[in-house]
Amino acid sequence: MNRRVIIIKTTKMQVKIWSDVRCPFCYIGKKKFEAALENFPQKDKVEVIWKSFQLDPTLKTDPNQTTLDYFVKTKGVSKEQARQMFAGATQMARAEGIEFNLEESVPANSLKAHRLIQFAKTKGLGNEIEEALFKAHFEEAVNIDDIKVLVKVAGSIGLNPEEVENIFDSNVFVNEVKQDELEAKKIGVRGVPFFVFEDKYAISGAQSSEIFLEHLEKSWVEFQKKNPGLEISEGDSCTPEGNCN
């Protein structure tokens, strides 16, 4: 009789990421995390779950104003001072292969974008929509509060345009956004990006890829302790297809 023992893992290690499409460091943090994940041997056993977090829910979208103008007005600094502040984030982004266009980006309320993210998650495209929306806002400088823009962005990753339009004919996915924000409040999230590994370890901010990799590795150890998997001792058997051996 042939016999061998195999281990079947039935779940994946979870990494939850709270972010806002309007946050430049969330885009940078996403790239740094992905670089770490690429170097993680068990990357195919990691499930990334994107969570909504609005930095300024009261922001009124003004497509006729640039983020530079908005920053000058709300922060009380000169344009030159604002440009110097933008330069640091732009340099960090460029190191991750991102070309920011911060000055021309549109100060837009992100609720509709978050609702789209929640919808995309139901289609298994959470990571793809996050990337597309970050690119639209920070690189292409388009209005992410404009439904036509959101439909186009959604279509670029394979989502059905008609389904996306229907989202904004009602309040669907608003509750999901609020639930994510409530969860963030409960665990003490004060800013984004915020990464939670297996509900045990957390990283606040766009830290280095080395730190992300370190957290992936130690979280994997914890994950294996909680999820040893199903141990099967295999012997002679028959399958539903009628194959016996």
Give all domains of the chain, ordered by start, each with its CATH number: 4-234 (3.40.30.10)
**pTM of the shown model:** 0.89
- pLDDT tens digits for range 21-76: 999 999 999 999 999 999 999 999 999 999 999 999 999 999 999 999 999 999 99
Q: What is the pLDDT of residues 215-244, one digit of tens each?
A: 999 999 989 888 766 555 565 666 666 677
- Which H or E run contains 117? helix 111-122
The helix (H) or strand (E) run that includes residue 37 is helix 24-38
Distance CA 124, CA 190 (A): 28
- 113 closest CA partner among 88, 138, 77, 80: 138
Strands 4-8, 194-197: pairing kind: unpaired
Strand partners, 238: 244
